[in-house]
């Protein structure tokens, strides 16, 4: 009864947030060049990207269309690997000049002491670094023997800064699944305060690789691991925003599932496309900064994100949890979009009483 009431209240909150659609996070895919070649990468990033990095001025012109950004508004530099841009500090400074915050998502490979200091001096406020296991499983996933050694340095530096809002993300797969407790201990020893876990979307180069994907039983164990970890208070562990997890909804995150793509999260992609979360299907683009006013697009378009009734198709058609889930994370709709790619709730139901 209490749970149902909480869910009903949350739906009211979600409706109000959707109506208001305040832009809080703007992801900028500032490069699609990357110095690694990860097995799980669903993007087209590579060492020799098809696209040139977006010139800073082009991005700033779009940024300057935003009228009265909220005090929480943050530009998140993502890629590819943002640290491959030689002008990354200049990008940060220009964003700060406008009174806005900026943050970055990085694989940590190029994050050394000198970079750490120069980024802090350029006003970096938050940083997310990904680590996908202990040494052997991380290097396997990253396809690079030095990758763990480098990310270990990056994590140590970032965790040592009291100015940075820093978290670590891990994509959980069959190889690192048995290491979760050890990774947790490692992160605590490094001084990391927040750890987000996510699973892989079956698209791109990961799709054919069975080792990338947890079994349904392992997925339930992952939920148990996260909920149990949250009762210990030594590190803030949470499941990413990626999907609705039924019976675990109140146990694995700070709040109920809410895919904020197109509601509070926008993005400007490498070719100028205006979208929501950077990892969603690119056919969802709402315009392009090279021909449209970014903020006007944000204010007046995004219908598919703000009215998700179109997701009531395929397995979601008859789902009794639809009103709480609304078709799972937007990034699970690809291709013809006739069915959601993954239903976490279904996976959990399959393993009830096991
Ligand atoms: S069937 Fe669709 S709406 Fe229902 S829980 Fe699964 S993804 Fe969500
Ligand atoms: S699209 Fe996916 S990753 Fe992005 S906000 Fe929605 S659930 Fe989260």
Q: Which residues 6+ apart lie within 8 Å of 282 measured at CB? A: 269, 273, 275
CA angle 242, 244, 249 (to 5 degrees): 110
Sheet holding 236-239, edge to edge: 236-239, 194-198, 165-171, 124-130, 101-106, 74-78, 25-29, 265-268, 273-275, 287-288
**Ligand showing the shortest atom-to-Cα distance for residue 324:** 1
Predicted model pTM: 0.94
Q: What's residue 335's pLDDT?
A: 85
Q: State pLDDT tens for residues 177-207.
A: 999 999 999 999 999 999 999 998 888 777 7
Q: What's residue 146's pLDDT?
A: 92
Q: State pLDDT tens for residues 228-259.
A: 999 998 999 999 999 999 999 999 999 999 99
CATH code assigned to 2-350: 3.20.20.70
From residue 91, how far is each of 84, 122, 125 by CA, in Å? 13, 9, 13
Of 24, 201, 242, 267, best ligand 2 pocket probe by most atoms within 8 Å of the beta carbon: 242
Token pair, residue 44, equals: 């087209």
Token pair, residue 139, equals: 């290097």
Q: What is the DSSP letter of 175?
A: T
Q: Which residues 6+ apart lie within 8 Å of 23 measured at CB? A: 66, 69, 70, 73, 264, 265, 266, 298
Token pair, residue 63, equals: 């940024």
Nearest to 156 by CA among 192, 124, 184: 192
Positions of the chain with pLDDT lower than 50, given as ranges: 44-45
Contact 169, 208 (CB under 8 A): no
**For residues 171 and 181, what is the distance between their CA atoms, to the nearest angstrom?**
14
Q: What's residue 47's pLDDT?
A: 55
Q: What's residue 46's pLDDT?
A: 52
E strands along 172-285, which residues?
Answer: 194-198, 236-239, 265-268, 273-275
Contact 329, 345 (CB under 8 A): no
Token pair, residue 228, equals: 């149990």
Of 260, 269, 278, 325, best ligand 2 pocket probe by most atoms within 8 Å of the beta carbon: 260
Distance from the alpha carbon of residue 332 to the mean position of ligand 2, in angstroms? 9
Q: What's residue 72's pLDDT?
A: 87
Q: What's residue 222's pLDDT?
A: 98
């Amino acid at each position: 009864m209490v749970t149902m009431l909480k869910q009903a209240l949350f739906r009211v909150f979600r409706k109000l947030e959707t109506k208001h659609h305040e832009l809080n996070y703007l992801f900028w895919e500032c490069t699609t060049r990357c110095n690694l070649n990860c097995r799980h990468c669903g993007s087209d990033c590579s060492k020799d990207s098809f696209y040139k990095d977006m010139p800073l001025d082009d991005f700033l012109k779009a940024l300057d269309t935003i009228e009265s950004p909220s005090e929480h508004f943050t530009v998140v530099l993502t890629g590819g690997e943002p640290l491959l841009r030689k002008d990354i500090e200049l990008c940060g400074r220009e964003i700060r000049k406008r009174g806005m915050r900026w943050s970055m998502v990085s694989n940590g490979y190029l994050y050394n002491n000198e970079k750490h200091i120069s980024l802090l001096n350029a006003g970096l406020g938050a940083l997310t670094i990904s680590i996908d296991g202990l040494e052997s499983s991380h290097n396997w996933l990253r396809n690079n023997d030095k990758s763990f050694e480098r990310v270990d340095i990056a994590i140590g530096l970032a965790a040592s800064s009291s100015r940075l809002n820093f978290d670590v993300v891990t994509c959980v797969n069959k190889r690192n699944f048995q290491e979760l407790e050890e990774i947790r201990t490692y992160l605590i020893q490094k001084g990391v305060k927040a750890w987000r876990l996510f699973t892989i979307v079956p698209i791109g180069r990961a799709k054919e690789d069975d080792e990338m994907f947890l079994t349904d039983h392992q997925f339930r164990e992952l939920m148990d691991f996260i909920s149990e970890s949250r009762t210990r208070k030594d590190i803030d562990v949470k499941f990413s925003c990626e999907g609705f997890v039924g019976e675990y909804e109140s146990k694995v995150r700070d709040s109920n599932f809410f895919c904020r793509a197109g509601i509070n999260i926008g993005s400007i992609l490498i070719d100028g496309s205006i979208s929501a979360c950077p990892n969603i299907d690119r056919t969802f683009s709402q315009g392009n900064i090279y021909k449209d006013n970014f903020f006007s697009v944000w204010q007046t378009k995004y219908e598919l994100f703000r009215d998700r009734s179109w997701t009531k198709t395929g397995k979601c058609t008859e789902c009794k949890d639809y009103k709480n889930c609304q078709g799972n994370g937007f990034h699970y709709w690809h291709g013809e979009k006739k069915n959601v790619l993954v239903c976490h709730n279904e996976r959990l139901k399959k393993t009830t009483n096991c």
